[in-house]
Structure 1
Amino acid sequence: MRKLCAAVLLFMLIGSGVAQAHQPVVLLDSDTTAAKGPLLTDGTVSYAIRAWFTKSGQKKAFRAQFNVGDALSVQYLIVDKQPENSLRTSALPRLVITSPSGTSISINLNERVKFYEPFSKVNYLYLSRYSAVAKAGVYSFTITSKGKAEITVAVGDKEIPGEVLRGTKPTPTPTSTSSSTASPTPSASPAGYTMAQVKANNSSKSCWAVIDGFVYNLTSWINSHPGGSSAIVSLCGTDATSTFKS
């Protein structure tokens, strides 16, 4: 178990060219508005924003920072498997991009082009590819569901590490926790995450774990783990230090 987890953490800590090309960011159920969602501090860096929906009318959102003249590159993708690839275009979530000046554009889903992602070994379908010259400021991306669905929104094209912020705190890839034991009334600090926050991310859709006082987002590794998905899922929402070292 330790060797398998070590391989995962090695990739997460030092990265690889392919992994950095599409840094995964999972939208949480609490990311209902752009202000509540994660902020990509450089929208030209390549990210894969993943969103799951269970019913119609759900909203998830995020933001991205651009400088004037930057390339605004956005791709709308779904996994090329059932049930996503059998959904009609009209049944898929709507993506609206709002510029810093307040101008909005709804992304038109106008293609179904196959795309194989070699790192995760997953087949995708491009449904739309949008590009423009960015204005200076923060763009908002709002996704509204029309039913049960899972989509990926790819933003940026620079294959370099990027930073993602939630409020004043960076996303956990990794960051130090103040304690590995939940307090009776936990409160997050700008320096890290509480154990209560880790426990809340305890599923295959959002999987966080503590190892040696650091919080790791293991979500994107669940289906890629050489020991099988259960090896990672069992760690979700826990202090996995003893398991990792066993």
Structure 2
Amino acid sequence: MGLAAPAAAHTPVLLGSDDTVDALDTSPFAPIGTVSFAFYGRTSAVGDTRAVRIQLSRGEPFHAQLLIPDLAPENELPVPQLPRLSILGPDRAVTTLDNTARAPFFEPFTQTSYLTLADTASAAQAGTYTLVVTGSAPARFVIATGDTEQFGAPLVNATAATLSDVQTWYRTPPTSGTG
């Protein structure tokens, strides 16, 4: 599956350094998990996490992807240093996706290029899915969720980013300790 344009079809959301697995109650939450969101984040150290949550009904399509900018330093990282996406399902089962793919993706709206590291889709269980990216090195990443374009879709604990926000995120390389 290809990623629909993160900033055009996916509502862009910038993740902050406080959107961690240790602060799930205040992490971004999409109450309609079929709506397309692109969560732009960065990790700054080994073990650094960023987390988002989406709500789905039984049988709805669950779709999630992990991408990195096709820029240094991310596109030069060896696989063990790439970010990893883990999914905690409503049944509390954890699935960590393989991050070895590097499928190129060009996003025309923002004029940005990415490498898709992981892509998963399935019929959903009813409940909340928690998507956690864990860093093994300073890196930018995108968690893309959902496939249905709906501008102005509800979002809790976050607001939509602007085109300028996304382009600044893209142009600013990660450094240790920047969060």
Give the TM bin, normalised by the shorter chain: 0.7 to 0.9
In structure 1, runs of 5+ residues without a counterpart are 1-16, 174-216, 230-246
Match of 1:31 among 2, 15, 19: 19
Deviation string for 1:98-128 (max 9, x for gaps)?
A: 1111011001113111111011011111111
- Shift of the alpha carbon at 1:20? 5.1
- Shift of the alpha carbon at 1:43? 1.1
Match of 1:69 among 56, 59, 62: 59
- Contact in 1 for aligned 2:43/2:138 (Cα 8 Å): yes
Partner amino acid, structure 2, of 1:77: L
C-alpha separation between the residues in 1 aligned to 2:9 and 2:156?
18
What SS does structure 1 have at the residue aligned with 2:25? Answer: coil
1:137 pairs with 2:127 = yes
- Contact in 2 for aligned 1:78/1:151 (Cα 8 Å): yes
- Shift of the alpha carbon at 1:141? 1.0
- Shift of the alpha carbon at 1:172? 3.8
Deviation string for 1:198-237 (max 9, x for gaps)?
A: xxxxxxxxxxxxxxxxxxx54x424659xxx9xxxxxxxx
What SS does structure 2 have at the residue aligned with 1:135? Answer: coil
What SS does structure 2 have at the residue aligned with 1:63? Answer: strand
- Shift of the alpha carbon at 1:64? 0.2
The residue number in structure 2 matching 1:198 is none
- Contact in 1 for aligned 2:87/2:94 (Cα 8 Å): yes
The residue number in structure 2 matching 1:221 is 164
Change (3 A) 1:140 1:222: closer
In structure 2, runs of 5+ residues without a counterpart are 172-179
TM-score under structure 1 length normalisation: 0.61
C-alpha separation between the residues in 2 aligned to 1:137 and 1:222?
31
Change (3 A) 1:113 1:70: same
Q: Please give the residue correspondences for 1:77-92 in structure 2 after superposition, counting only pairs within 5 Å.
A: 77-92=67-82
What SS does structure 2 have at the residue aligned with 1:157? Answer: coil
1:164 pairs with 2:155 = yes
Q: Which has the higher contact order (CA 8 A, sep 6+)?
A: 2
- Contact in 1 for aligned 2:47/2:135 (Cα 8 Å): yes
Question: Where is the helix percentage greater, Structure 1 or Structure 2?
Answer: 1
- Contact in 2 for aligned 1:45/1:159 (Cα 8 Å): yes
What SS does structure 2 have at the residue aligned with 1:85? Answer: helix
Count of matched residue positions in the alignment of Structure 1 and Structure 2: 162
Q: CA RMSD for the aligned pairs?
A: 2.1
Q: Percent identity?
A: 31
Partner amino acid, structure 2, of 1:221: S
- Shift of the alpha carbon at 1:36? 2.6
The residue number in structure 1 matching 2:108 is 118
